[in-house]
Amino acid sequence: MKVLGLSIVFFFFVYSPVGIAKEKDGLEQSYEIEAIQIADQIWKYAELGYLEQKSSKLLQDFLLDQNFNVRAGVDGIDTAFIATAGSGSPTIAILAEFDALPGLSQKALPHREPLESGGSGHACGHHLFGAASAAAGAKLSDWMRESGVSGTVKVIGTPAEEGGSGKVYLARAGVFNDVDLVLHWHPSDVNSASPYTTTANKSGRFTFKGKAAHAASAPHRGRSALDGVEAMNYLVNLMREHIPQESRIHYVITRGGDAPNIVPELAQVYYYVRHPKKTKVIELFERVVNAARAAAMGTETTVEFEVMHGNFPVLPNYTISKVVDKNLRALGGVKYGPEEQQFAESIAGSFIEGSRLIGSQETIQPYRFRQSMGSTDVGDVSWLVPTAGFTTATWVPGTPGHSWQAVAAGGMSIGHKGMVLAKELLFETGKELFLNDKLINRAKEELRQARGPSFEYEPILGDRRPPLDYRK
């Protein structure tokens, strides 16, 4: 452990931001240094959805310094923002996320060691996401100004992707109405620009209310809210045999009572429902609601539920994806230095299983359609505007998302290198799109045909207001 500790100190010295950018010109070096510094600061903040005050302000301040006009507090969401530079058509938006996940605090070390016990951590790499997107937007703005290219670049700060559906509220508020194309990316353990879709999802908190009583001397006078939760879970688990196999249903009990000798008066369970088709998600969620009602009836309790979020599946746009893939192949993958290789090998030993070998981060994945079983609020945006995304290897190959291993790699130069690649890919793709109206028009026509003539946007989460306190 002593040797490993020394190697990590040496690692950070060699791969400082200045070291990464030392062979670039002054402006490019500045972009990379600032992006890394911003990402590292947001990594330390590790703020949860709709609570990302410091992270959002850091990105906004950077963009203000780059001569963007910044509008904050979009649709009543304090941490949402729109930063705009340039003028005229086309308008290309780059999405920027910056929320962390609860309970995954971790130091930038290849073994489990939280920065703060029980604290949050960037286990999905949104600190890198936001920093790269902001830096790419700034670089595009400078290029447009210097080259005299007409057009508008927007960096849209989108909070609470993790279960908060931040982009859905922005979409519903018309933020994307004047946007021609949307680019986004996501940290990963691979480099890929393949077109993909995700599952639609809908979530809800189910709160059961019963009657408290002494669990030993007067249990007959109580009605357990926890019995309601457990009965609901049992019914939903029986339901799993009779749902489409590509469905996903998962839950956590967020409140189970106060003490064993008190019949629980209040209990709560939080459910996610997913399926590749949004119509199926809506149907499955109703079946889960029916299970809750039946459980309440059977346990003589009452139940109320609150829809927490809902996302469309991502609608791929092949026209733009091909451009992104071409540019990714031209840029290449991520190469590790000796200390990064040692870090990667150490952290790989902590995986339960991993199908990818260290070294694959240097390659680009084959271009082919894929179905992701995850969900994202990018889905709603992709049904309104032609949208394309990609991933870069910011994590050690084999790393699962939402893990401490992802937090660790995202806090040091393995994450930095993947982020810098993402910044360059956003810039190169944006540049090409700004110069090619025909490509933009083809992407729009593809979207129109994919949606069909009768498409009307109706968010899965309905007309509820953003759940600004869902992480409190």
What pLDDT digit, counting tens, does each position of 295-315 carry? 999 999 999 999 999 999 999
Most confident of 12-21, 36-45, 355-364: 36-45
In percent, the amount of the chain with pLDDT more than 90 equals: 91
pLDDT at site 22: 38
**181 near 196, Cβ under 8 Å?**
no
pLDDT digits (tens, 9 = 90+) for 406-439: 999 999 999 999 999 999 999 999 999 999 999 9
Alpha-carbon span 163 to 254, nearest angstrom: 15
Per-residue pLDDT tens digits for 332-341: 999 999 999 9
Q: What is the structure's pLDDT at 274?
A: 98
Pick the CATH number of 200-311 from 3.80.10.10, 2.40.37.20, 3.30.70.360, 3.40.710.10: 3.30.70.360
352-400 pLDDT, tens digit per residue, is 876 679 999 999 999 999 999 999 999 999 999 999 999 999 999 999 9
pTM: 0.90
Q: What is the pLDDT of residue 6?
A: 33
**CB-CB neighbours of 90 under 10 Å:** 18
What value does the mean pLDDT of the chain take? 93
More confident residue, 238 or 1: 238
| Cis ω for the linkage preceding 264 (within 30 of 0) | no
CATH 3.40.50.20 is right for the domain spanning 2-196+313-451: no
Place of tokens 């003539």: 453
Task: Give the pLDDT of residue 31.
Answer: 85
pLDDT band at residue 29 under the 50/70/90 scheme: low
Give residue 23's pLDDT band: very low, low, confident or very high (50, 70, 90): very low
State residue 16's pLDDT score: 35
What pLDDT is stored for residue 355 in this prediction?
62
Specify the pLDDT at position 122.
98
> Quick one: tokens of 471?
């992480």
| Residue 383 neighbours by CB under 8 Å, 6+ apart | 312, 315, 451, 455, 457
User: Is the predicted pLDDT of residue 75 greater than 50, yes or no?
Assistant: yes
Cβ atoms of 111 and 142 closer than 8 Å: no
* pLDDT confidence band for 3 (50 / 70 / 90): very low
The answer to whether residue 5 scores a pLDDT higher than 60 is no
Burial of 355 (0-12, 13-18, 19+ CB in 10 A): exposed
The pLDDT, as a whole number, for residue 318 is 98
- Report domain extents, the chain: 2-196+313-451, 200-311
Cα separation, 459 vs 236, whole angstroms: 25
pLDDT given for residue 356 in this prediction: 73
3-state secondary structure the chain: CHHHHHHHHHHHHHCCHHHHHCCCCHHHHHHHHHHHHHHHHHHHHCCCCCCCHHHHHHHHHHHHHCCCEEEECHHHCCCCEEEEEEECCCEEEEEECCCCECCCCCCCCCCCCCCCCCCCECCCCHHHHHHHHHHHHHHHHHHHHHHCCCEEEEEEECCCCCCCCHHHHHHHCCCCCCCCEEECCEEECCCECCCEECCEEEEEEEEEECECCECCCCHHHCECHHHHHHHHHHHHHHHHHHCCCCCEEEEEEEECCCCCCECCCEEEEEEEEEECCHHHHHHHHHHHHHHHHHHHHHHCCEEEEEEEEEECCCCCCHHHHHHHHHHHHHHCCCCCCHHHHHHHHHHHCCCCCCCCCCCHHHCCCCCCCEECCCCCCHHHHHCCCCEECCEEECCCCCCCCCCHHHHHHHCCHHHHHHHHHHHHHHHHHHHHHHCCHHHHHHHHHHHHHHHCCCCCCCCCCCCCCCCCCCCC
Tell the residue number behind the tokens 């902001």, with chain if given: 134
Average pLDDT over residues 27-51: 91
pLDDT bucket at 472, cuts 50 / 70 / 90: confident
**pLDDT bracket for residue 64 (50, 70, 90):** very high
Supply the pLDDT for residue 1: 32
Match 């092949």 to its residue by tokens.
318
Structure tokens at 206: 């189910």
pLDDT of residue 28: 62
The Cα–Cα gap between 186 and 391 comes to: 5
What is the per-residue pLDDT for 30?
A: 74
